Chains A and B, each alone.
Chain A
Amino acid sequence: GAGVSQSPSNKVTEKGKDVELRCDPISGHTALYWYRQSLGQGLEFLIYFQGNSAPDKSGLPSDRFSAERTGGSVSTLTIQRTQQEDSAVYLCASSLARSGGQFFGPGTRLTVL
C-alpha cells in the first residue's frame, strides 16, 4: 500500500503569513507524529496523535504552532504568523501503535522569506 504522504512538498511564504501543512498517514496507522528538521540537524519532536487526540504537545515551539487530526487519519500542522526561524523541513510519521516503528513521509520544505 501507499506510504505516508505529505503536501505540499515545498512551500515558500513571506514572514507573517500563515501556512498549513498536510500529512496523510499509512492506512490503519493509529499514531501520527510531526517532527521538524533544520538543515543538517537532527529531528525535533513537535506533537503526536493517538487517534484524534494529542496526548503530548510538549514539543510545539510556540503558540503559533497548532495541529489537528480528524477521522483518525489526515493531520494538518498550522503555523501562524510565520517567522524566518520556522524555515525547516517538516516531517510526518505514522505507526500502527505508539509502541511501533514509525514510518516517515517525504517532508515539506518550508522557507520563510
Chain B
Amino acid sequence: GENVEQHPSTLSVQEGDSAVIKCTYSDSASNYFPWYKQELGKRPQLIIDIRSNVGEKKDQRIAVTLNKTAKHFSLHITETQPEDSAVYFCAALAGGTSYGKLTFGQGTILTVHP
C-alpha cells in the first residue's frame, strides 16, 4: 500500500521567514496530494492541494510543488505569521485497487515566533 513520509517533524521559524515541509510517497499511481492544517483541538482543514498533471500551485502565501519522477511534494509558506502555527499534514490519494484512500504523513509541528 501507499506510504507517506513527512519531514521535518518539528519546524520553528521567525515571523516573516519562509517554511518548507517535504513529503515523499511510494505509490506511483497516486495522483492527488492535499495539505491539511490542524490547530490545537480543532479539525484538520484543507489548505491547498495539487494533482499530478501540474508541477506547482500557489494560493497567496502558500504554494505546493510536485515532482512525480522523484515522488515527492512540498509545502512552502512565505512571510510566515504567528497564526500559521499549527500541525501540517500532507497526504497522497492511493491509486489502483485502493483508489479513494488517503494516506497521511506523520505531521509537522510548525511554530512561528513573533
Binding site for B on A (CB under 8 A): 31, 33, 41-43, 45, 48, 50, 55-56, 58-59, 91, 98-99, 101-107
Contacts and interface: CB of A to CB of B under 8 A. Distances in A.
A53 to B, nearest CB: 11
Nearest to B31: A99
Contacts of A101: 34, 46, 49
Chain B, interface size category, equals: 20 to 34
A85 to B, nearest CB: 19
Contacts of B99: 55, 98
Given A42-B105, A99-B93, A55 B100 contact: yes
Contacts of A33: 102
B44 interface: yes
Nearest to A104: B43
A41 B31 CA distance: 25
B101 A107 contact: no
Given A56-B98, A101-B34, A101-B46, 14 more contacts: A41-B107, A42-B89, A42-B107, A50-B100, A56-B100, A56-B101, A58-B1, A59-B101, A91-B43, A98-B93, A102-B46, A102-B102, A104-B44, A107-B43
Interface of B: 1, 31-32, 34, 36, 42-46, 49, 89, 93, 98-107
Given A42-B105, A48-B100, A56-B98, A106 B34 contact: no
B46 A103 contact: yes
Nearest to B51: A99
A91 B44 contact: yes
Nearest to B93: A99
8 contacts: A41-B107, A42-B104, A55-B100, A58-B1, A91-B44, A101-B46, A101-B49, A102-B46
A82 B78 CA distance: 45
A18 B49 CA distance: 37
A102 to B, nearest CB: 6
Nearest to A3: B43
Contacts of B49: 101
